[in-house]
Amino acid sequence: MTVLEETTGEPTGEPTDARGRVAELHEIRAQAVAGPSEKATEAQHAKGKLTARERIELLLDPGSFQEVEQLRRHRATGFGLEAKKPYTDGVITGWGTVEGRTVFVYAHDFRIFGGALGEAHATKIHKIMDMAIAAGAPLVSLNDGAGARIQEGVSALAGYGGIFQRNTKASGVIPQISVMLGPCAGGAAYSPALTDFVFMVRETSQMFITGPDVVKAVTGEEISQNGLGGADVHAETSGVCHFAYDDEETCIAEVRYLLSLLPQNNRENPPRAESTDPVDRRSDVLLDLVPADGNRPYDMAKVIEEIVDDGEYLEVHERWARNIICALARLDGQVVGIIANQPQVLAGVLDIEASEKAARFVQMCDAFNIPIVTFLDVPGFLPGVDQEHGGIIRHGAKLLYAYCNATVPRISLILRKAYGGAYIVMDSQSIGADLTYAWPTNEIAVMGAEGAANVIFRRQIADAEDPEAMRQKMVKEYKAELMHPYYAAERGLVDDVIDPAETREVLVKSLAMLHTKHADLPSRKHGNPPQ
């Protein structure tokens, strides 16, 4: 029999029999699970952070975690590393289940080298990523690492390259979710940016390419870590973060909820749930929620709540580009992606950030076989020098490209106004929507009646004895001729004008019909979307 020497973690002698070897194995594993020291664990908790294993326990079903390469240790020498060779090398990898479905996970252990990535550390991550891709199961990374391990030089940098390459290989094949639970700089921030969803925790997690000290040295600007790359900054300003929460427990619980809405991979459909919400439930309240006057704002979120199962949905990028809503919800138990203009913010116009937000969401839904339902109430693209110089044409084209390229079932619903290029871009029938519906309050036109009349009848208005009376007359005539609720339906551009109270039933039945949709795409390596 033998025991481990506490300081080095090395066996003190040779085991004398099989039982001795098993006992030694259990001691080594216990040391690997315990981590470097109780003091290191206390320091982690003092920062308001859980340990890597505590996080994995919250994420996965109880008792389901199977660890891979628990006994891995680095081989580096120099700079004091040869005297410190902890088991796991600062990252815990393996798989388990979430609600009974397989999920792969890796979690940085900040207690070991600050979670910094070295060669062995990276190799473990590469292996678990390869396993996730091969098994066709989601990958969740619990990130709490300080970037590349400086003592290992270029080997650490090459390790990041291998992660990035696998992130890209897995993109659109398996769901990839990054959970930021500590300060992540440099390469540690790039991998999450390549994944499908990024979660952050306020105060304790940050993402930036260069930290505050470097920023000050180069630009002279002084800023805190949270001010530079905290959860609120990335959730509201940069758009890097999709979800931000106040604590790790809530954050990880929401990761589990998101996984329940996603398929295992791109060859499967999202999991269907039994719904107790009647398909034919009328929603008469919608008649009061949405004013007929196109200039009056309302909250599109309340419309979505009224239509989806039990009023429940998960909004993605809730605090960024708030003039458009992107959400995952269920209709009769089937997962759908919802894109909707938000008239409460900037009147629901499309701008650069809204176009980018919606385009990425459409691509995600299409990659993972999630039908898309689009609610339109859009006055157009946001005008302005900043928008034009910022590339609104290029960014708006991203949304157009995403919709045109999507092969999942697509249904669009026009609630009120749908003007100009924004009407076309927001999944109109002309770009491939399978079904297009409208409420009796719809107004579909090149532009609003006021603007159209001023252009078309400019001379008549100028020459009239009472220009204002003439303008009002022309506006009324334009609305009557080209903007009445049935104009688009009469020309086959809207499949039906429906009672708003019956919207839920119409959408559910339409999705059921489209369930077996198959679309053939031309043979090509890949498209070249606008960037």
CA angle, residues 515, 317, 405, in degrees to nearest 5 = 40
- Active-site annotation holder among 170, 189, 422, 488: 422
Whether 187 is a known active-site residue: answer: yes
Whether 186 is a known active-site residue: answer: yes
d(CA 313, CA 9): 49
DSSP for residue 238:
I
**In sequence order, which residues have a C-beta less than 8 Å from that of residue 175 and are 6 or more positions away?**
138, 139, 196, 197, 259, 262, 263, 265, 368
Let me know: does 207 contact 189? Beta carbons within 8 Å. Answer: yes
> Which residue, chain included where needed, has tokens 């077996």?
516
> Which residue, chain included where needed, has tokens 């299409």?
366
Let me know: does 167 contact 191? Beta carbons within 8 Å. Answer: yes
Separation of first and last alpha carbons in the chain:
63
CA angle, residues 366, 331, 410, in degrees to nearest 5 = 35
Nearest to 280 by CA among 437, 512, 509: 509
Whether 432 is a known active-site residue: answer: no
Let me know: does 142 contact 107? Beta carbons within 8 Å. Answer: yes
Let me know: does 326 contact 356? Beta carbons within 8 Å. Answer: no
**Three-state SS annotation for 86-103:** CHHHHEEEEEEEECCEEE
**What sign has the CA pseudo-torsion 365, 145, 136, 130?**
positive
Sorted by where each begins, the domain ranges of the chain are 1-34, 48-261, 286-445+485-514, 449-482
CATH code that applies to domain 48-261: 3.90.226.10
CA angle, residues 354, 356, 358, in degrees to nearest 5 = 65
- Active-site annotation holder among 421, 432, 451, 464: 421
pLDDT at residue number 462: 79
Q: Is 418 helix (H, G, I), strand (E, B) or coil?
A: strand
> Which residue, chain included where needed, has tokens 């996970």?
105
Burial of 2 (0-12, 13-18, 19+ CB in 10 A): middle
Whether 421 is a known active-site residue: answer: yes
Equal fold, 48-261 vs 286-445+485-514: yes
pLDDT at residue number 390: 95
Residue type, 439: W
> Which residue, chain included where needed, has tokens 């410190």?
84
Let me know: does 61 contact 97? Beta carbons within 8 Å. Answer: yes
pLDDT single digits (tens) 372-425: 999 999 999 999 999 999 999 999 999 999 999 999 999 999 999 999 899 999
pLDDT in tens, the chain (531 residues): 444 544 445 555 666 688 888 888 888 888 778 778 888 889 899 999 999 999 999 999 999 999 998 878 777 766 666 667 788 788 999 999 999 999 999 999 988 888 878 888 889 999 999 999 999 999 999 999 877 777 777 887 888 899 999 999 999 999 999 999 998 888 888 999 999 999 999 999 999 988 888 888 999 999 999 999 999 999 999 999 999 999 999 999 999 999 999 999 999 999 999 999 999 999 999 999 999 888 899 999 999 999 999 999 999 999 999 999 999 999 999 999 999 999 999 999 999 999 999 999 999 999 999 999 999 999 999 999 999 999 999 999 999 999 999 999 999 999 999 998 999 999 999 999 999 999 999 888 876 667 766 777 788 877 787 878 877 877 777 777 766 778 888 888 899 999 999 999 999 999 999 999 988 888 888 889 898
pLDDT single digits (tens) 123-175: 999 999 999 999 999 999 999 987 777 777 788 788 889 999 999 999 999 99
- Active-site annotation holder among 96, 145, 187, 229: 187
- Active-site annotation holder among 9, 186, 333, 432: 186
How far, rounded to the nearest angstrom, does the alpha carbon of residue 31 sit from its chain's CA centroid?
A: 37
Let me know: does 376 contact 415? Beta carbons within 8 Å. Answer: yes
Structure tokens at 229: 């790359």
pTM score: 0.91
pLDDT at residue number 522: 86
d(CA 453, CA 397): 28
pLDDT at residue number 2: 45
**Three-state SS annotation for 143-212:** ECCCCECHHHCHHHHHHHHHHHHHHHHHCCCCCEEEEECCEEECHHHHHHHCCCEEEEECCCCEEECCCH
Let me know: does 64 contact 99? Beta carbons within 8 Å. Answer: no
Other CB atoms within a 10 A radius of the CB of residue 273 amount to: 13
Measured CA to CA in angstroms, residue 487 lies from 13, 292, 441, 457 at distances of 88, 17, 12, 21
Other CB atoms within a 10 A radius of the CB of residue 162 amount to: 15
How far, rounded to the nearest angstrom, does the alpha carbon of residue 69 sit from its chain's CA centroid?
A: 30
CATH classification of 286-445+485-514 is 3.40.50.300, yes or no? no
